[in-house]
Amino acid sequence: MRIRKQNDEVIYTEDQVVQVKFSDIQWLKKQAECNLRKRARLCTHRTVEDLLHEMLIVHEKGTYIRPHKHLNKTESVHIIDGLVDVVVFDDDGNITDVMQMGDYKSGRVFYYRMQYPYFHTLLIHSDILLFHEATNGPFDRKNMVFAPWAPDETDVSSTLDFLKKIENLAEIFQNKR
């Protein structure tokens, strides 16, 4: 597979027909392990201007994904490997849903499609999470809104506290179901 690295986290394929093998995923996992934020994505679309964006994404356990929502976007996620809770919030930061997800054989939800701009984050329970994400392009950072009630990822102490709080609230939410 021919690639073009945008940075340590974002890699684009250069092939006309993209084919991904086990060894490619092992390499992508190594990329995530070696960078500061412990994540990496292989973009199978050519540019940010493409109308369809598809990515294979790796996050390590403990990766903080600041709750965010996408304006004017639809997002679908298919879990390939690992366990994760996708926590969905209203605009005030109240949990409205917790999707316990895993691969197809896990018996958990393995796919979701989100058409409405809900704030959401990931609570990763496995050492590595590998998933396929698709969304409509083109990519415009202005269409991604971070939750004002969630800490910025640069504030490590606050993010750790926030993750613990959300894990506890997600468990309470699940127990009330």
Distance between CA atoms of 173 and 155, rounded to whole angstroms?
26
Rg from Cα positions in the chain: 16
- In degrees to the nearest 10, what's the CA dihedral of 30, 66, 78, 38? 0
Give the side-chain half-sphere CA count within 13 A for 73. Answer: 25
Six-digit token string for 170: 């997600």
The CATH number assigned to the domain holding 72 equals 2.60.120.10
Report the candidate in 53, 56, 60 with the shortest Cα–Cα distance to residue 24: 56
Six-digit token string for 3: 């690639």
Six-digit token string for 49: 């201007």
Percent of the chain with pLDDT over 90: 94
Note the pTM of the prediction, 2 decimals: 0.94
How many domains does the chain divide into?
A: 1
**pLDDT per position as a tens digit, 141-153:** 888 999 999 999 9
Six-digit token string for 154: 């640069």
Percent of the chain with pLDDT over 70: 100
Buried b (16+ CB within 10 A) or exposed e, 115-136: eebbbbbbbbebebbbbbebbe
pLDDT value, residue 8: 93
Confidence of residue 70 (pLDDT cuts 50, 70, 90): very high
What mean pLDDT is predicted for residues 141-166? Answer: 94
Q: Which domain holds residue 34?
A: 3-176
Q: 85: how many CB neighbours lie within 10 A of its CB?
A: 20
